[in-house]
Amino acid sequence: MTIILTSPCPFAIISHDSSISYQGQWCIASRDAFNLEQRNEQMKKNVFLWSTPVCHGLVCMLMAFFMTSWARAEGYDKVMERGTLRHLGVPYAHFVSGSGDGFSVELVQMFADYLGVRYEYVNASWASVISDLIGKKTTVSTQKLSTGEPADIKGDLIANGLTILPWREREILFSVPIFPSGVWIVARADFPHQPIVPSDDLAHDIQSTIDRVKGYRVLAIEGGCLDPALNRLEGSGVNVKIMPAKMNLNELIPAVLNNEADCTLLDFPDALVGIQKWPGKVKILGPVSMNQYMGVGFAKSSVRLRDEFNLFFQKCVNEGKYARLVNKYYPAVFSFYPSFFEGVMRICEK
């Protein structure tokens, strides 16, 4: 693997077995369709400027989280009395592998050690995971979460690459942002249009990406971060194909490869895993969302447990454990979102 960083901002091309190339924040998977030397020279002429506003916004967001009060301690008290921290996880990308490891699994295991309790993993699905946390049956439609009849509470927190979205924040608490994200469009390698060339204007890049897929079939899932309403695809001329909400996100790229559609929406971590898993078969065209963040979810009654996690996370960052964990599961992310990690380090040092 070769990493070439340009100045003044980290902005990398990464080639993997001569079959995958990462260009700035998106990738293509065919060397024939991508001249590495030409792209590298082009990138040296461009300055990647998204980092300054992103970093400033992230610092403000982190400070707001760390300044919360030590109010309602119900969730924390129950965990300590039980002596077990129950981790609700949905197998997804490299966050929860389904085989007992993953970025989120190891992070929550370290949190359990920090609290001095046992760790317990509780498998969940995207359709049920919030219900399993808050104890109410839930349904999601058009970026709205509705709650209904009582349900069993099966876990104390959600950690599996959960994007912080407004409709989720109305029902659950989130930790400080622990991982960067954003929604991209992934296509087969033989898709007729090439990835966009990144500019210093993310909104412009988003529109350029959407223009490339007008008239083509794009997979999406309503209710989450891959909702077409959230990603500016409604009324855009894109032929959006809505997949079942219960569909596993790991199935989207295989659906594209099976010609069920031309492209799919995917968030950054899953797209990164996809191009590594199917080298030479897929390419990332560009972004369709502004920068997003992922966090750990807690019930509204678990303010202290959430605050304890935030303090643990700060300690984890300062001791270098967080960086080592990210490097283990997502080594390329530091080059894609340098401003996020700069912001995390800046606020955690205070």
Position 33 pLDDT exceeds 50: no
Same domain? For 162 and 100 the reply is yes
- For residues 253 and 235, the model is more confident at 253
Residue 336: the pLDDT is 84
Residue 347: the pLDDT is 81
How many residues comprise the chain?
A: 350
Give pTM, 2 decimals: 0.77
User: In this structure, what CATH number is given to the domain that contains residue 33?
Assistant: 3.40.190.10
Same domain? For 94 and 156 the reply is yes
Residue 168 in any domain: the answer is yes
- For residues 347 and 270, the model is more confident at 270
Share of the chain above pLDDT 70, in %: 76
CA angle 266–271–276, rounded 5-degree value: 155
Position 47 pLDDT exceeds 50: no
DSSP β-bridge partners for residue 254: none
Domain around 155: 71-180+292-335
80-110 confidence digits (pLDDT tens): 999 999 999 999 999 999 889 999 999 999 9
User: Range with the lowest mean pLDDT among 20-29, 71-80, 301-310?
Assistant: 20-29
- Spatial separation of the C-alpha atoms in residues 209 and 185, rounded to whole Å: 8
How much is the average pLDDT of 154-174? 94
Residue 327: the pLDDT is 95
Domain stops at, among 287, 303, 323:
287
- Spatial separation of the C-alpha atoms in residues 170 and 148, rounded to whole Å: 15
Residue 61: the pLDDT is 57
Q: Give per-residue burial for 133-167: e unless 16+ CB within 10 Å, then b.
A: bbebebebeeeebebeeebebbbbbbbbbbbbbeb
Helix (H) or strand (E) holding 169: helix 166-169
The pair of structure tokens assigned to 74 is: 């119900």
Same domain? For 197 and 244 the reply is yes
Residue 57 in any domain: the answer is no
The pair of structure tokens assigned to 149 is: 């009849």
- Spatial separation of the C-alpha atoms in residues 278 and 184, rounded to whole Å: 16
Residue 59: the pLDDT is 56
Same domain? For 192 and 210 the reply is yes
Same domain? For 134 and 280 the reply is no
CA angle 331–335–339, rounded 5-degree value: 115
The residue ranges of DSSP E strands in the chain, in sequence order, are: 2-5, 12-16, 20-23, 26-28, 84-89, 118-123, 136-141, 144-150, 157-163, 172-174, 179-181, 183-188, 217-220, 239-242, 263-267, 282-287, 292-299
- Spatial separation of the C-alpha atoms in residues 229 and 65, rounded to whole Å: 28
Distances (CA, A) of 123 to 15, 100, 105, 242, 337: 35, 11, 11, 25, 29
How much is the average pLDDT of 182-190? 95
Those residues with Cβ within 8 angstroms of residue 277's Cβ, 6 or more apart along the chain or in another chain: 253
